[in-house]
Amino acid sequence: MKEKKYAAAYIRVSTDDQIEYSPDSQMKCIAEFAQKNGYILPEEFVFQDDGISGRSAKKRPAFNRMIAESKRKPTPFDAVLVWKFSRFARNQEESIFYKSMLKKNKIEVISISEPVTDGPFGGLIERIIEWSDEYYSIRLSGEVKRGMNEKASRGEAVTIAPYGYKMADKKYVADEKEAEIVRYIFSEFANGASYRDIAMRLNAMGAKTHRLNPFEGRTVEYIINNPVYIGKIRWSLNGGDVCGIHTPIVSAEQWERAQSEALRKKNMYKPCAKKSVNGNVLQGIMRCSSCGGTLIKTGEYLQCGKYTKGVCKVSHSIPYKTAVQAVIEHIGAEFETGGFGIKKRRTDENEEKYFADLIKKEQKKLDLVKKAYENEIDTLEEYKQNKARILKTVESLKIKLDGAEKRGKNTENANKKYENLTAVMCDEKIPDDVKNKILRSFVDKIVYDKHEKSFDFYYYF
């Protein structure tokens, strides 16, 4: 009897693909090929990425699921069917890497529209096809960039419409409702309001961004620094600005006042600007009780990251050293009292002895039922039933005993791991980033409530 062959189908469609590359047309051709060549193509083995470039595998979720599926044992399919090799990958280096990975699992990649002969010449032809696909991709990318550069040089729109504008006839047209908000932002900022203050006011007014999100300080900052609002197009950050064909929303005078204020604020707060910190004991652990945002370290203080952006309305500022000391003292106390489930002495020994004694009792029962059979008290059938029942009970007890032993070892290991925790956290010779890793190994999060002056600890082990 002929052995069944299973196949997976991989379909990829780029945003610039034509009708002939559509998912339906690719799937139709692949299904016909599978049927003609004796492959079974289950629906769960059809993987499809839409509107995604083939230059990198990282941005292709369906492709990555297919690769992960191929690693299962036993191998789930014998081949990956693609319409063209370019659908599999347009980067030759990645193509060779993933094909080699599949080949180790005895999975072949087959292009149904580009038949390749067996042998060394077939492999050479396949490499040439892959090189051609990569060359086409690079060339296409260059053509797109040239086209966009040309549009930008003429002052035409090259990106989606920014806040305050909408797209009409391939150019930016002012959205009057949003344009009023843009003018309000420039006016308030020029009069001394901070990015965060303006964001808070806009959110209180019910204003939303294009993506219907609340305003943040950085959103306001981006608007203040975007020359599109004085009628210019910024296509390259290093290439300067060009005059656009759209109508400005703010005047040149408003723009200059805002830029002067931005420069003043930058110079004023430069000494207090966020520093690049090599280590932070509480990094990623502390949470705001009001919004759940992470508390970030700025200078000598921790503050809710969402508050600094104008999203959270409640300040959770706390001196960094105060927070660290409070955390160390709390965890030390928890450990001493066993508050988070770690005991200093093993309490699992009694549990182990309990299950071991039960197993001994069941083994004695085995001897008794055997003697009952030998003395002709029980029939052979009764002996078999009793023996099977007792052995089943013994097996169940052995599993429970094994679990008790593991729990004992885990508790013992936990004791060794955390008994010197306070000393480690207070040791100035140990870098803060190392201390952070230690904390994150068993602390899920710490919620800080400034109003109550309390810390709620959430652990996992």
pLDDT 10s digits, 205-235: 999 998 888 999 889 999 999 999 998 887 6
Query: According to the model, what pLDDT value does residue 271 have?
Result: 52
Question: What DSSP line would sit under 161-228, residue for residue?
Answer: PPTTEEEETTEEEE-HHHHHHHHHHHHHHHTT--HHHHHHHHHHTT---TTSPPP-HHHHHHHHT-GG
Give the count of alpha carbons within 13 A of 436, CB side only. 13
In whole angstroms, what is the distance from residue 154 CA to residue 148 CA? 10
Residue of 425, 90, 121, 461 lying closest to 279 (CA atoms) = 425
Tokens of residue 396, six digits: 């169940």
We find that the CATH architecture of domain 5-138 is: 3-Layer(aba) Sandwich (3.40)
Q: Is 355 helix (H, G, I), strand (E, B) or coil?
A: helix
State both tokens at 197: 């203050």
CA neighbours closer than 13 Å in the CB half-sphere of residue 165: 24
User: CA nearest 207: which of 175, 238, 173?
Assistant: 175
pLDDT over threshold 50, residue 129: no
> At 109, which helix (H) or strand (E)?
strand 108-111
pLDDT of residue 277: 46
Nearest-10 crossing angle of helices 380-418, 349-374: 170
d(CA 106, CA 338): 53
45 confidence band (pLDDT: 50, 70, 90): very high
Instruction: List active site positions.
Output: 14
Report the pLDDT value the prediction gives residue 154, as an integer from 0 to 100: 60
Q: What's phi and psi for 455, nearest 5 deg? A: -125, 125
CATH class of 165-272: alpha beta
Alpha-carbon gap, residue 149 to 162, rounded angstroms: 19
Predicted confidence (pLDDT) per residue in 67-106, tens digit: 889 888 888 999 999 988 877 876 666 777 788 788 888 8
Q: Which pTM was predicted? A: 0.43
**pLDDT confidence tier of residue 294, bands split at 50, 70 and 90:** very high
Q: Does 148 have pLDDT greater than 70? A: no
Checking if the pLDDT of 371 tops 70, the result is yes
DSSP state of 294: B
DSSP string covering 397-418, please?
HHHHHHHHHHHHHHHHHHHHHH
Neighbouring residues of 395: CB distance < 8 A, sequence distance ≥ 6: none
Residue-wise DSSP of 276-344? --S--TTTTTEEETTT-PBEEEETTEEEEHHHHTTS--S---EEHHHHHHHHHHHHHHHHHHTTTS--S
